[in-house]
Structures are given as C-alpha cells and as structure tokens.
Amino acid sequence: MNHADATLQELMARTAGGDHAAFAQVYERTHAHLFGVAVRMLGREQAAEDVLQEAFVSVWKSAASWRSEVAGQQLQPMTWLIAIVRNKALDALRSRTRRKEDELPEEDALADGGAAAPSALELLSQATQALQVEACLNSLDGSHRQSLALAYYQGLSHREVAEQMGAPLGSVKAWIRRGLDKLKACLQAGGVAA
C-alpha cells in the first residue's frame, strides 16, 4: 500500500484498521495545522504540544469511531481531528482554571504581583456575555454559523473553510462577513458592545 498517494479519508480508514504507517501519514499531514489550533487556544507552545500528543493518542484509540458521513452530511477527517484537538485544549484550559482556583488567595496575589482576582460581578458579566454570544450564534443561518465556527473557533483560513464546507471561496467570504454583521447586530440589540 502506498500511503503517500492516499487521501486523508483513506488514511483514516486504514488507521481505523490498525495500520501504523497510515497513522504516521495522518500525523505528518495534519500535525502542523493542529498544533496551530492548539497554540491559538492555549497561548503556550508547550501546552499545545502536550495537547497535540494527547489528541493523537486519542485519534489512534478512537480511529474506528470516525465516519466519513454523519446523518447524510459529509464529515471531513480534518474537521474530526480539529474537534479532538479543540476538546483536549478545552480540557487543558479547564484544568488550568481548576489549578488556579485551588491555590490559596495569598498565592494568587503574590503570583499576580498583587493584582486582584476578578470579582463575582465581573465573572457573572463574562458568563452573561458568553451566553449572549452563544444565543446570537445559534440564531444565525446554518451556513453563516458553520463558516464562523470553522474560521474563528477552529482557526481555519477562508480557503480551508471553503474546502471543509465544499463551497466556493466567494460564498464562504460572504457568509463570514454577513454572519459577523448579524452577530454584531444581535449582540448590540442585547446590550452587549461588539
């Protein structure tokens, strides 16, 4: 089997069958982009490397669960891989937050140079804004919501979004622009500055 000429979908299918060489090719083709996603989410290269390692262990263990089609819609392997990396990065962020919460208040003050932790009101305000953003995103048309999610949550370029969605680049750019405009209008109507 020549893995160099295989598509990512074929490599994923072979990986699901336990093919180590196919898995190595999946890693070679995707690790740079997936590392970028993790770095953007975590802000630290070392943390991103740790997340990427965990993600690829998870990919190897759960490759058999990957499907090229779900509910009649095509699912690209890269979308699945990005979702795994994103989930691992979110786990790492939650873990980082829990570790900070477990520290003593005096340690926080010393570590932050005496800066005060966010107040309960500030945390409530942030949570409220996050819920408003989620509600506004959910109110968007499917193509607008999907293109925004791929571009901003998964860190894909417009061209990569077009490839993932199987849509023309011009349409994707228009969806993202209109989606951002609608999102901004929704947030402003809810009293949140965009």
Mean pLDDT by 10 residues, the chain (194 residues): 75 88 90 89 88 90 76 77 89 79 52 59 72 79 83 80 88 89 83 43
- What pLDDT score does 113 carry? 52
Q: Which of 117, 149, 167 is the last residue in one of the domains?
A: 117
For 70, phi then psi, to 5°, come to -130, 125
Asked if residue 79 and residue 9 are part of one domain, the reply reads: yes
Asked if residue 54 and residue 17 are part of one domain, the reply reads: yes
Asked if residue 103 and residue 138 are part of one domain, the reply reads: no
State the total domains in the chain. Answer: 2
- What pLDDT score does 44 carry? 85
d(CA 188, CA 182): 10
- What pLDDT score does 191 carry? 46
pTM over 0.85, yes/no: no
* Domain harbouring 42, CATH code: 1.10.1740.10
Asked if residue 130 and residue 188 are part of one domain, the reply reads: yes
d(CA 156, CA 36): 10
DSSP labels, the chain:
--GGGS-HHHHHHHHHTT-HHHHHHHHHHHHHHHHHHHHHHHS-HHHHHHHHHHHHHHHHHHGGG--SEETTEE--HHHHHHHHHHHHHHHHHHHHHHHHHHS-HHHHHHHTTTPPPPPHHHHHHHHHHHHHHHHHHHTS-HHHHHHHIIIIIS---HHHHHHHHT--HHHHHHHHHHHHHHHHHHHHHTT---
Q: Which of 117, 138, 158 is the last residue in one of the domains?
A: 117
Provide the residue type at 30 as one letter: T
d(CA 56, CA 181): 36
Structure tokens at 167: 């849509």
Asked if residue 126 and residue 41 are part of one domain, the reply reads: no
Asked if residue 63 and residue 99 are part of one domain, the reply reads: yes
Could you tell me if 62 and 129 are in contact, meaning their C-beta atoms sit under 8 angstroms apart? no
Provide the residue type at 164 as one letter: Q
Provide the residue range defining the domain that includes 147.
118-194
Q: Which of 117, 146, 172 is the last residue in one of the domains?
A: 117
Asked if residue 166 and residue 101 are part of one domain, the reply reads: no
